[in-house]
Structure 1
Amino acid sequence: MDAILLRMKMFGLSEKDARDQKAATFIGRLNLTDKKALISNAQYDAAVEFLAVYDKYKRAISAPDGTKQSGGAGGGVETEDYARWCKRAIEAYMGPNRDGQGGVMGAIAAEQGLHRNRGANLYAALDYIVCRDEQHWHMVGDVRLALNALAHHFGLLGKTKKEPLAA
């Protein structure tokens, strides 16, 4: 109960919202705001999907995890199934040609290109707000743009995947 009261006091949440699992993250609290949700349910779901793809990508490339103190990943034995899983995880993140086209990074790159003249940095917004779970209010607009692109990419808005812009 102390954690619930602390969430209510620190973030100005109702008791119902403070009990919600989403209240544990900044992106979740943006979705829970009473008067108007700053992040829609589709955007929140896109953030969750993006985190899953990003975590699989990091495991596939054997990236170190700064939050863990372990000495390394796995026993060093790589099976064919594991190699196929790694290939799929990398393609989901970077695309089949590892140029970003077709993967989540391609969706972000296409959206970033649309907003390049206004100084948006969708990559930083995703990194700080979604991946690192840091509270940066000045990046909320940019993360909304990025999550819209990801929601289209994942098909969460009732539409098909958003195609990258032709050069």
Structure 2
Amino acid sequence: MKAAKRSASKASRKRGRPRKEDAVRTESGQISRAKVPGEAIDRLARETRMRHYGLKKDDAKQPEAGTVIGRMKLLGLISGELYDAFTRYQMTVERYRLALQVPDSLKTRRGGVMNVAPDEADENAVVAWDRLSAAIKEAQAKYSGNLMAPLNYIVSRDENHPHMMADLRVVGNVLCRFYGIDVLRKSA
């Protein structure tokens, strides 16, 4: 009986391919296939941003380089105040879509439950959107270009449309006045 146990334990120790001891491994224990060990995960994304969008190496590392308005800020096409106004606009639109339970909003707060009574945050989001759209419509009456198109295409959909830059700056100034960003910058 002892001989059978010894031979079984020897056989189990010798099964399979021998483990390579000097190989660089990932966190899961698999052998790493990376050509350069310790290489940054987002290296390819940074190189692509540098090549396609003309960003510098330091700018391509910034999180703003992932969006069209962020790249415009990094390239100096829009100011930091306009960038802040556009990011606040994105948050306002997202809150408004959540309040209306729009099916295509990517972030759901309620887990897909429909017909839930609106709470105070939802009502505040609708009021904030109404005030914001009224400010944009008021500026639209004074300006001959379309102010909603750059917000829709460049800011919300994250598409690059260089021919809309003038309208984007105008609506950005409207948003800065609406959110009080220019006043905050001057007082700081």
Question: Which structure: larger Rg?
Answer: 2
**RCO comparison, higher one (Cα < 8 Å, 6+):** 1
- Paired with 1:61 and 1:139, the residues of 2 have a C-alpha distance of 29
Q: How does 1:67-78 map to 2 (within 5 A)?
A: 74-76=112-114, 78=116
Per the alignment, residue 163 of structure 1 pairs with: none
Identity rate, percent: 34
Per the alignment, residue 104 of structure 1 pairs with: 132
Q: 1:126 touches 1:143 (CA, 8 Å); kept in 2?
A: yes
* Structure 1 residue 104: Cα displacement: 1.1
Q: Give the 3-state SS of the residue equivalent to 1:57 in structure 2.
A: helix
Per the alignment, residue 100 of structure 2 pairs with: 61
Where in structure 2 are there 5+ consecutive unaligned residues? 1-42
- Paired with 1:38 and 1:152, the residues of 2 have a C-alpha distance of 19
Per the alignment, residue 11 of structure 1 pairs with: 53
Q: Give the 3-state SS of the residue equivalent to 2:113 in structure 1.
A: coil
Q: 1:31 touches 1:44 (CA, 8 Å); kept in 2?
A: yes
Amino acid at match of 1:9: R
- Paired with 2:123 and 2:183, the residues of 1 have a C-alpha distance of 28
Q: How does 1:1-167 map to 2 (within 5 A)?
A: 1-33=43-75, 37-65=76-104, 74-76=112-114, 78=116, 82-94=118-130, 103-116=131-144, 120-158=145-183
* Structure 1 residue 10: Cα displacement: 0.5
Q: 1:62 touches 1:73 (CA, 8 Å); kept in 2?
A: no
User: Deviation per CA, 1:89-136, whole angstroms, max 9, x where unpaired?
Assistant: 000001xxxxxxxx11112112111113xxx11101100000000000
Amino acid at match of 1:135: N
Question: RMSD in angstroms over aligned alpha carbons?
Answer: 2.0
- Paired with 1:114 and 1:128, the residues of 2 have a C-alpha distance of 22
When the two structures are aligned, how many residues end up with a matched partner? 141
User: Deviation per CA, 1:44-81, whole angstroms, max 9, x where unpaired?
Assistant: 0000000000000001011111768x9x95324635xx
TM-score, normalisation: structure 2: 0.70
TM-score, normalisation: structure 1: 0.78
Amino acid at match of 2:47: L
Q: 1:60 touches 1:89 (CA, 8 Å); kept in 2?
A: yes
